[in-house]
Structures are given as C-alpha cells and as structure tokens.
Amino acid sequence: MESEIRSRPAFANILVRLTQGDAIVAESDAMASMSSSITLRTRWSGGFLGALLRRVFGGESLFVNEFSTSSRGELVLTQPFPGDIECVELKGQTLYLQAGAFVACEPTVELGVGYAGLSSFIAREGLFRLKLSGRGRVWMGAYGGILSKDIEGEYVVDSSHLVAYEPTVQLKLGLAGSLLTSLLSREGLVMRLRGPGRIYLQTRSIEGLASFVNGYL
C-alpha cells in the first residue's frame, strides 16, 4: 500500500493507493473522495465496550471504517480542521492518542482503549484514551503543525497541545508556576509529563481558536 501526505503542513491530507489485499482503517468521516472500486466496512472503534467508553467519556466517534478493494483504487483521507498529519510506524510498541488525533492506521494495528486517569479528565483531555499497538503505520492529525520530542525527565506541556505519547510517559496535572503566576500568566493548568518516551505536540489548539473567536462574538 502506497501512501503520501500532501499539502503539508496547512492542509495535510493522505493519498492512499490500494491494490488487492491492501486495507486501511480510518476515522469516521475521514474519507474525502475515493475510486468506486473501493469498498468499506464499518466496525466499532476499539471494540464495542471501548468505543462506547470513548464516546461517553472522550467525545470520540463510535465507529471506524475499513477501506479495501478487489482491484485497485485511490482514496483521499483528511481531518475536519486544517493542520498537519504525521505518519508513525509501530513495530510492536504502543502509542496513546488524544481525542481527535486519530486519522487512520493499517488493519494490523490494534485499536484499543486505555484509562487515562482523572487528571486527564480534569484537563479536558478525556477519561479514556485511544491505545494503538501492534505493527503497522499510524496517521495522526493535529490542528497546526506537529512537533515530536523525546523527553527524559519532566516536561511541561500546555493542555490541549498534547497529541500523542508513548506509554512510558506519565501524565500529571499541575500548575505552570506558583498559584499567582499560573493565574496571571493565563497558562493555568498544564500537563506535567515524565519520561522517558516520545511525545507529539500540536503548535495550535482548536480550543485556543474558539476562545479567540468567542472574544469577538
């Protein structure tokens, strides 16, 4: 299966060429256009219970679509907001994705659900998170550009800018500084991550855009 991420970083979208035997799993509503030779199968996102948990506590979609073909065809996958898409190859390791970050993966990748903890819930990142494991390519999307970083010790990330992280990374909710500076700096609550492990960040947040626009309504 050939794939290419086009129009990066502002309007990233994935062009996928499928031949017989290939398949790709995509987030609900990710398909922009496709050849008529491609068919799809809809299934629960991370199993019935997992899908339900993520829907109720994370606001994620219940279903994912698996696209395949008996001949050949092209498929374009996208995300609802402008921004970049990054492809990561899983070789047995696990990756946690924040709500809204999942775009697509190969069918050999297992979609599961993990408990994210109360601090994640308070930071409005969802009580449950999408857990990707196994082998194969994963495509994650972001509003804005995507930065990846390998952290060793503690690292501070503004909540709503975290896109994905490896399971060795511990999440803790914290203040950006002292109580007063946290209030004055408008950074408020932040995520205090503890490595080692790789994290993926987005350079903008949709909540940030919403609060900017709200100021003018």
Partner 1 sequence: MESEIVARPSASAAKLSLDSNETITCEVGAMIAMSTGFSVQTSASKRGGSGLWAGMKRMVAGENFFLNHFTATRPDQTLYLGPVLSGDIVHRRLAGETLIVQGSSWLASGPGVELDTTFQGLGNALFSGESMFWIRCSGHGDLFLNSFGAIYEVNVEESHVVDSGHIVAFDSSLQFSTGKLGDSWLQTFLSGEGLVCHFRGQGKLYCQSHSPPSFGKLLGPMLRAR
Q: Which residues bind partner 1 (CB under 8 A)?
A: 6-7, 10-13, 15, 27-29, 31-36, 38-42, 61-63, 65, 74, 76, 78-82, 206-207, 209-210, 213-214, 217
The minimum distance between CB 210 and partner 1, in angstroms, equals: 4
Return the number of the residue (90 or 125) whose C-beta is nearest partner 1: 125
Q: Which residues pair with 175 in a beta bridge?
A: 189
Return the number of the residue (19 or 168) whose C-beta is nearest partner 1: 19
The minimum distance between CB 33 and partner 1, in angstroms, equals: 4
Between CA 171 and CA 185 the distance in angstroms is 22
Cis upstream peptide for 82 (omega within 30°): no
Which string of b and e fits 58-91 if b means at least 16 CB within 10 Å? bebbbebbebbbeeebebebbbeeebbbbebebe
Between CA 67 and CA 16 the distance in angstroms is 10
The minimum distance between CB 104 and partner 1, in angstroms, equals: 13
The minimum distance between CB 29 and partner 1, in angstroms, equals: 4
Residue 36, number of CB atoms within 10 A of its CB: 7
Return the number of the residue (179 or 213) whose C-beta is nearest partner 1: 213
The minimum distance between CB 3 and partner 1, in angstroms, equals: 15
The minimum distance between CB 141 and partner 1, in angstroms, equals: 11
Angle (nearest 5°) at CA 36 between 32 and 39: 85
Return the number of the residue (153 or 214) whose C-beta is nearest partner 1: 214
Return the number of the residue (81 or 121) whose C-beta is nearest partner 1: 81
Return the number of the residue (92 or 215) whose C-beta is nearest partner 1: 215
CA distance to 12, 14, 45, 202, 207, per residue, from 161 (Å): 18, 22, 23, 5, 10
